[in-house]
């Protein structure tokens, strides 16, 4: 299918095989988030803490991603909860990292909990995803940039700092919320209990995700990938509760990764950027990721790839080696995800995904 953009009406656009509404794209808050992330990373470099550029930048970016995925009346609370759970997950990941291959056991438990959390509602799909991502990142580093306390402080400070920066405009710009007729507030524990049976699609998804993470983690160690967490990290994002969603996410993930890797290779080859120039691509990646997360997953992954590769390159890693490993990990994770999606599949009733 052609990747040329085709406009439909005033606001609709067909791009990379998917149709999305341009009116759904909001730039003000993502621009603020991207600027804050770039400032955080710049401060880390200036302070001689370039090794923390990646965890600082990606934590703040994930918090911004949560905010962009939620309606305005839930953004603030969702970002606070996301920062909190990412801090805990990152600390646990750093704590279990020395276990080596045995880290697969706590990774499976985190995948089970994070995958099942989606049964509570859309907010917890986003929070569970970024919490699992943080655990995968920190537990998959054979040589973490710091100890458990260091990692917890870095993740916590950068996450909550972004929350504080964006809370003011969120509070000032959001319209007052009017409860819809028939709104029923079901406690989270009760929602989880309603899905605790063997045929439940959310429970099955959690089990599939847990097993897929274990396979991905072990394959990463066998293959000796430079970043062992990339396969599990990709699985967290692409493996969905339904077959169609998983296949689409894998296809769009591969496309977005190839676009991001290609852009970074060209950028480095043509301009030979230093650390501060890489901050620019880091911020640009966060802007694209947060602004387009609700409309086009390929472009969201393009932004994520720019951010991840820029953050690691700031620490001195080779873009060429990162590109090869990034593409390889994406393809392996995609194959695992598609295989897992066809095991024990149950069609999802949309009712459990009601607003939380």
Q: Please write the tens of the pLDDT for every residue from 318-334.
A: 999 999 999 999 999 99
pTM: predicted TM-score of the whole model, two decimal places: 0.86
- 158: pLDDT strictly greater than 90: yes
- Taking the C-alpha atoms of residue 176 and residue 309, their distance in angstroms, rounded to an integer, is 39
Return the percentage of the chain with pLDDT > 70, whole number.
82
Distance CA 62, CA 160 (A): 11
- From 25-29, 134-138, 291-295, the region with the lowest mean pLDDT: 25-29
| Residues 347 and 242 sit within 8 Å (Cβ to Cβ) | yes
Closest CA to 311 of 269, 258, 253, 260: 260
pLDDT at res. 118: 86
75-106 pLDDT per residue, tens: 888 999 999 999 999 999 999 999 888 999 99
Q: What is the pLDDT of residue 296?
A: 87
Chain centre distance of CA 197: 28
- Who wins on pLDDT, 21 or 205? 205
User: Residue 2: pLDDT above 50?
Assistant: no
How far apart CA 118 and CA 192 sit, in angstroms, is 9
Kindly state the average pLDDT of the residues 245-254: 94
Residue 50 has a pLDDT of 83
Query: SS in 3 state form for the chain?
Result: CCCCCEEECCCEEEECCEEEEHHHCCCHHHHHHHHHHHHHHHHHHHCCCHHHHHHHHHHHHHHHHHHHCCCHHHHHHHHHHHHHHHHHHHHHHHHHHHHHHHHHHHHHHHHHHHHHHHHCCHHHHHHHHHHHHHHHHHHCCCCCCCCHHHHHHHHHHHHHHHHHHHHHHHHHHCCCCCCCCCCCCCCHHHHHHHCCCCCCHHHHHHHHHHHHHHHHHHHHHHHCCCCCCHHHHHHHHHCCCCHHHHHHHHHHHHHHHHHHHHHHHHHHHHHCCCHHHHHHHHHHHHHHHHHHCCCCHHHHHHHHHHHHHHHHHHCCCCHHHHHHHHHHHHHHHHHHHHHHHCCCCCCCCCHHHCCC
Distances from the Cα of 140 to the Cα of 230, 231, 307, angstroms: 8, 10, 19
Q: In this predicted model, what pLDDT tens digit does every residue of 294-319 receive, in sequence order?
A: 788 999 999 999 999 999 999 888 99
| pLDDT, position 323 | 93
């Amino acid at each position: 299918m052609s990747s040329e953009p085709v406009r439909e009406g005033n606001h609709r656009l067909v791009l990379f095989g998917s149709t999305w509404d341009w009116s759904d794209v909001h730039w003000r808050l993502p621009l603020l988030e991207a600027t804050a992330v770039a400032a955080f990373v710049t401060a880390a470099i200036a302070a001689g803490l370039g090794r923390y550029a990646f965890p600082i930048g990606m934590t703040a970016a994930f918090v911004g991603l949560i905010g962009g995925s939620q309606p305005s009346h839930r953004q603030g609370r969702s970002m606070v909860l996301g920062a909190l759970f990412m801090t805990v997950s990152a600390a646990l990941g750093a704590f279990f990292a020395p276990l080596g291959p045995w880290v697969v056991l706590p990774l499976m438990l985190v995948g089970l909990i994070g995958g099942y959390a989606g049964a509570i509602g859309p907010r917890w799909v986003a929070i569970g995803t970024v919490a699992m991502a943080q655990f995968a990142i920190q537990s998959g580093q054979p040589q973490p940039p710091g100890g458990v306390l260091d990692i917890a402080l870095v993740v916590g400070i950068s996450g909550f700092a972004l929350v504080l920066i964006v809370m003011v405009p969120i509070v000032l710009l959001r319209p007052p919320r009017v409860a819809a007729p028939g709104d029923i507030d079901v406690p989270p524990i009760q929602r989880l209990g309603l899905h605790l049976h063997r045929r439940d699609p959310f429970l099955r998804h959690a089990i599939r995700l847990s097993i897929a993470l274990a396979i991905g983690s072990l394959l990463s160690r066998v293959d000796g990938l430079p970043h062992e967490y990339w396969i599990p990290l990709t699985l967290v994002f692409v493996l969905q509760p339904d077959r169609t969603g998983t296949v689409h996410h894998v296809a769009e993930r591969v496309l977005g990764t190839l676009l991001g890797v290609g852009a970074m290779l060209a950028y480095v080859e043509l301009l030979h950027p230093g650390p501060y120039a890489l901050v620019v691509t880091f911020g640009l990646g966060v802007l694209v990721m947060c602004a387009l997360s609700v409309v086009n997953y390929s472009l969201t992954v393009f932004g994520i790839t720019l951010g991840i590769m820029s953050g690691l390159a700031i620490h001195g890693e080779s873009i060429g080696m990162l590109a090869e490993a990034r593409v390889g990990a994406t393809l392996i994770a995609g194959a695992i995800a598609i295989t897992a999606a066809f095991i024990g599949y149950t069609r999802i009733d949309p009712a459990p995904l009601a607003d939380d």
